[in-house]
Amino acid sequence: METARLLAAADGPLKINWAEMPTYNTIMAVAAGAGLLLVVGLGRRLAGRGTVLHPEGWALAFGVLGLILTLTGLHMTLTWPLAAGGFPFDNIIFGEPSLAFGVLMLAAALFLWRRGTILEEHPDRPGYVAGIAGPMSIFIVGMGLACFGIAAAGIWYELFAAPEQEPISGLLADHPMIEATFISVLYALVGVGAVLFPAALGAPRGPLGRVVGFCWALAGLLFLIFGALNYFTHIGLIVNTM
């Protein structure tokens, strides 16, 4: 967390007033990672021939994750700055992409709940999905480009570096570019998949579809693991800087 680094005193122990520094990107990262993996999993089922979907189950999964991301992303987006005095760009980096992904997942959940049976029985399932998702792909491409911007900012300004007071991640405190590169690559992977998404809709089993699936599956898995790990590292940082 670069928040702590920005608030560190020049010649004293690092102390953070956590009452003025709300942070919950832990559950956001886990939900975003799980959401990306769900999108890839559903995409593979939709591309398969004769695959049973069980759309109600997918709708519930998308709805749960979409609700978490929408609520946390909306609060983080509308609260400016969320981190009082120390980390205002958290709103942009985590809040806005989470809000966008959350609303998209809620829309997908509603569609699967209401129209899942038709989708399951449709003779041209990929074509039907492409026609439904096509208009929304404009926004998805835009958010993909936004992910490229976040990734570039992470490298340019050396963001995401953890302070030495944070367990595990703090071991790299003297090498800020390592964590900056890692998180930026995750955003770039999401961006690549989003930008290629409209082209992959027409041929989900083709090369572009496989590239999108690979990018989102890898980014989703890493976001999921990193977010789960942060439940320990962030608790440790809070304890060490209270």
What is the pLDDT at residue 145?
A: 98
What is the pLDDT at residue 10?
A: 37
pTM for the complete prediction?
A: 0.90
Q: Which residues of 192-222 are buried (b: 16+ CB within 10 A; e: fewer)?
A: bbbbbbbbbbeebeeebbeebbebbbbbbeb
What is the pLDDT at residue 126?
A: 83
Written as tens digits, the pLDDT of the chain (242 aa) is 444 444 444 345 667 666 566 677 899 999 999 999 999 999 998 887 667 888 999 999 999 999 999 999 999 888 877 765 566 788 899 999 999 999 999 999 999 999 888 888 887 888 888 899 999 999 999 999 999 999 999 999 988 887 788 888 888 878 889 989 999 999 999 999 999 999 998 888 899 999 999 999 999 999 999 999 999 988 888 888 87
Cα torsion 104, 145, 5, 87: sign: negative
What is the pLDDT at residue 193?
A: 98
Among the listed residues 141, 147, 193, 143, the one whose alpha carbon sits nearest the alpha carbon of residue 36: 193
DSSP 8-class letter at 162: P
What is the pLDDT at residue 50?
A: 64
Contact indicator for 144, 195 with CB cutoff of 8 Å: yes
What is the pLDDT at residue 16?
A: 67
What is the rounded CA–CA span in Å between residue 216 and residue 6?
A: 31
What is the pLDDT at residue 86?
A: 61
Among the listed residues 199, 235, 192, the one whose alpha carbon sits nearest the alpha carbon of residue 214: 192
What is the pLDDT at residue 215?
A: 98
| Count of helix runs (H) and strand runs (E) in the chain | 9, 0
